[in-house]
Amino acid sequence: MARHGRGLLALCLLSLSILTGLGGRALAHEVRPALLQITQQAGGGYEVVWKQPVVGDMAIRLSPRLSSGALARITPRETHTQSYLVKAWQVPKGVPLDGQTVTIDGLAQTVTDVLVRVDRMDGEDLNAVLKPSSPSMVLSLSGPKGVSVPTYLTLGVEHILAGFDHLLFVLGLLLLVGVNRQIIKAVTAFTVAHSITLAVAALGFVRFPPALIEALIALSIVFVATELLPRPGRAPTLTQRYPWLVAFIFGLLHGFGFAGALAQIGLPPGAAPQALFLFNVGVEIGQLIFIAAAVGVILLLRQVRRRITWPTETLARLAPAYLIGSLAAYWLIERTLAAYS
């Protein structure tokens, strides 16, 4: 009966994932935060650098704007990487930066955030986050400085809850283990593992190509999907016997994916450990929210299953594996091609 409930849960959640994910080309990482970094320079000028996430050749239409109109009058230097579009403006001495309004045109039509960082001459930095609901802010350089607690904590929560590939892996793990004590061990192992690689990657000790990491994350989901397929008469696999071990191994891989959100935008100088800790805590909060919601739906569906008269055995056995595997295989092909393009 629990299998039926899990199968129906997977069908509902994965149908939503397909509707939102396939239409947006790897939507899992379209929600990576963008970065607007403004660096004050001697003489009164400042440099403005805009980093916007892209997938292959596709990029959402976002454009930073200052109320003085300085960015509109200057042609930016533009470069591309596999994961980001970078634009840089060199603004000469003119209108003071303090008191200007910065706006991200097009942000209201997206699901991403923009981290705004102002590096001041006196070494005191300003950090803030612009959201689709509030795409502009006044640069008050006499305001709060340093890393803001809600900034990186919120980024962590939003990154995991909007990262459909990471959530799909957690869902597959939950469906494989079931609602029992084993899931606590598996989730703990996954958390410890991705916390390790998140730290070492975000702090710059280890670097891997982002496109390769994203492709391997998709491959890990395909692997979990194959483990969900029924094997009547066969001995349990290593994953089924020791799910915590597999969760730990793939958790190391997913940690590099989490670090991608921070590696590209960077950590605030002088407050990197605090920002990293807050982001990691945010990721864990978001993950626990998802697991709690999924478990709640499973328990509810167990009750609903008792009132269903039509046969659902085949659906319960095959739907989770095929739906998870199909979406992950799509991501794997897309990201592999992007890595080679």
153 versus 339: which is more confidently predicted? 153
CATH 2.60.40 in the chain, residue ranges: 34-148
pLDDT, one tens digit per residue, over 239-288 is 888 889 999 999 999 998 888 767 666 676 666 788 888 888 888 899 99
pLDDT (0 to 100) of residue 153 = 85
Question: pLDDT confidence of 125, banded at 50, 70, 90?
Answer: confident
pLDDT (0 to 100) of residue 58 = 62
User: What residues contact 17, with CB distance under 8 A and at least 6 apart?
Assistant: 164, 168, 327
CA distances from 272 to 177, 266, 280 (A): 36, 9, 12
Cβ proximity of 19 and 327 under 8 Å: no
Residues β-bridged to residue 46:
40, 91
pLDDT at 19 over 70: no
pLDDT (0 to 100) of residue 229 = 86
pLDDT, one tens digit per residue, over 282-314 is 888 999 999 999 888 878 877 776 777 776 666
End-to-end CA gap in the chain: 46
Q: Are strands 84-91 and 77-80 parallel, antiparallel or unpaired?
A: antiparallel
pLDDT, one tens digit per residue, over 167-224 is 999 999 988 888 888 888 898 899 999 999 988 888 878 888 888 888 999 999 999 9
User: What residues contact 209, with CB distance under 8 A and at least 6 apart?
Assistant: 82, 339
Indicate if the alpha-carbon torsion angle 38, 39, 45, 49 is positive or negative: negative
CATH class of 34-148: mainly beta
3-state SS assignment for residue 269: coil
pTM for the full predicted model:
0.69
46 versus 20: which is more confidently predicted? 46
pLDDT (0 to 100) of residue 311 = 64
Q: What is the mean pLDDT of residues 133-146?
A: 74
pLDDT at 29 over 60: no
Contacts of 296-303 spanning 24+ positions with Cβ under 8 A: 297/9, 297/12, 298/2, 298/5, 298/6, 298/9, 298/174, 298/179, 299/5, 299/179, 301/4, 301/5, 301/6, 301/8, 301/9, 302/1, 302/2, 302/4, 302/5
Cβ proximity of 192 and 302 under 8 Å: no
Q: What is the mean pLDDT of residues 50-73?
A: 83
pLDDT at 7 over 60: no
> Both tokens of residue 183?
């899931």
pLDDT at 25 over 50: no
Beta-strand runs (E) in 160-286: none
pLDDT at 228 over 80: yes
> Both tokens of residue 57?
């050749």
3-state SS assignment for residue 209: coil
